[in-house]
Structure 1
Amino acid sequence: MNAAKRTEIFSRLREINPHPTTELDYSTPFELLVAVTLSAQATDVGVNKATKKLFPVANTPQAIADLGEEGLKRYISTIGLYNAKAKNVVATSRILVEQYDGEVPRTREALEALPGVGRKTANVVLNTAFGEATIAVDTHIFRVANRTGLAPGKTVRAVEDKLEKTTPQEFKRDAHHWLILHGRYVCKARKPACPECVIRDLCEYKDKTPS
């Protein structure tokens, strides 16, 4: 995979989706932080169903803190690992109220120090809420990066580091959205839709599905 091929891959993904974004519903950085925290091992559709009921009732750190764990669980009980997530979201909300005047911090270090917030969640918030050119690697991106040859790596962090190093600057801000959506709808885990793929001639996957 060379620089020219990478540029062409991202150019084609941009052509079919010029303004990609997350499929999680949110209107503020805090809502995004909550939604991404809830999305671990859950679908965006499932999270959106829960937050559609939650956010009209509580969508600020103070409101979530006031709701408490038991109160929050009533809204997110359809999401996997909801007990642990309720504990983390409420704890995070209290920290934001007490230490950040109810605002979501804009540094990786501060975000990753919040309960239940790992590197991927921090990257999503920094990118989607604050416009930074971070690349959040989830299972879809890990698969696409390895399968296509775009950024092969044995670990999520290795793939992230390689994407950070090799993705042309003009594509960096939107790169992880394009790759997530490509993995979710085209380069699917069990049966990739290679005949319908806009980058099939650039992809280095040896076992392409036939038309």
Structure 2
Amino acid sequence: MDKTAIQKIIDILQKEYDISGYSNRGNAYEVLVGTVLSQRTKDEVTWPRNKELMKKANTPEKMLELSEKEIAKIIYPVGFYNQKAKKIKELSRILVEKYGGKVPRGREELMRLPGVGGKTADCVLCFAFNEGVIPVDVHVEVIAKRLGIADWKDKPEVVRKKLHQFVPKDKRNSINALFVEHGKRVCTTRRAYCERCSVVKYCPKIMKK
């Protein structure tokens, strides 16, 4: 796999999938909270519940006015809703006390917040701040490995680093959304449906771990 092939894959997938919804998830706080909610929960469940939560509290200050029980009730049935309610309340408190109610733009600062790991931090940087980073979720990880960009033994942080080496910065913000959509429909985590893949001719089809 080379950079030219990656560019062709991006071009083809951009024509195939409408990813406009990924960049319309709200401001940095909305994206941060929504991404915490999305952990181990499907998008179809996550984002409607996040929308309802934001109607009640769309700033850290307003979130602190809600109890954990109130937050949990609103975000149900996202996975681990009680634990996530606690994390959302705590990260909101830190944002108010340490950052004046603003979401920090630094990856390391974001990762110090409760419930925020590398992927969640990158989602905020990518979808809220347009920073040109690639959030590596399971779909991105599997497709990157099947394409031969990363090795099967690589951890998500290594996959991220290798993707950044291959993909120009101005194209990185679209990679997560494109690979997620392709991963849901064609190149799934359980099976790659190569017979209906629009980019199969550029793929070395590295299937074995």
Aligned residue in 1 for 2:165: 165
Within a 5 Å distance, the mapping from 1:78-157 to structure 2 comes to: 78-154=77-153, 155-157=155-157
Q: TM-score, normalised by structure 2?
A: 0.90
Asked if the contact 1:21/1:177 (under 8 Å) is kept, the reply is no
Aligned residue in 1 for 2:59: 60
CA distance in 1, matches of 2:111, 2:97: 17
Within a 5 Å distance, the mapping from 1:20-59 to structure 2 comes to: 20-22=20-22, 26-59=25-58
CA distance in 1, matches of 2:47, 2:21: 15
State the 1:194 CA deviation. Answer: 2.1
State the 1:136 CA deviation. Answer: 0.7
Letter matched to residue 187 of structure 1: C
CA distance in 2, matches of 1:12, 1:70: 45
Give the gaps of 5 or more residues in structure 1: none
Letter matched to residue 202 of structure 1: Y
State the 1:153 CA deviation. Answer: 4.3
Of all paired residues, the percent bearing the same amino acid is 35
**1:205 matches 2:205:** yes
CA distance in 1, matches of 2:93, 2:196: 47
Asked if the contact 1:153/1:159 (under 8 Å) is kept, the reply is no
CA separation of 1:189/1:44 partners in 2, compared to 1, >3 Å: closer, same or farther? same
Give the gaps of 5 or more residues in structure 2: none
1:201 is paired with a residue whose SS is helix
CA distance in 2, matches of 1:70, 1:146: 41
State the 1:203 CA deviation. Answer: 1.1
1:7 is paired with a residue whose SS is helix
Q: Could you say what the CA RMSD is over the residues aligned between the two structures, in angstroms? A: 2.0
CA distance in 1, matches of 2:61, 2:18: 36
State the 1:43 CA deviation. Answer: 0.6
CA distance in 1, matches of 2:73, 2:171: 40
State the 1:114 CA deviation. Answer: 0.7
CA distance in 1, matches of 2:127, 2:16: 20
Q: Number of aligned residue pairs: give it.
A: 206
Deviates more, 1:136-145 or 1:56-65: 56-65
Asked if the contact 2:138/2:189 (under 8 Å) is kept, the reply is no
CA separation of 1:206/1:100 partners in 2, compared to 1, >3 Å: closer, same or farther? closer
CA separation of 1:77/1:128 partners in 2, compared to 1, >3 Å: closer, same or farther? same
CA separation of 1:144/1:93 partners in 2, compared to 1, >3 Å: closer, same or farther? same
What's the CA shift string for 1:44-75, capped at 9, x where partnerless?
11112322322211121111111021111111
1:55 is paired with a residue whose SS is helix
Aligned residue in 2 for 1:9: 9
CA separation of 1:151/1:13 partners in 2, compared to 1, >3 Å: closer, same or farther? farther
Deviates more, 1:190-199 or 1:139-148: 190-199
Quick one: higher RCO (CA 8 Å, sep 6+), 1 or 2?
2
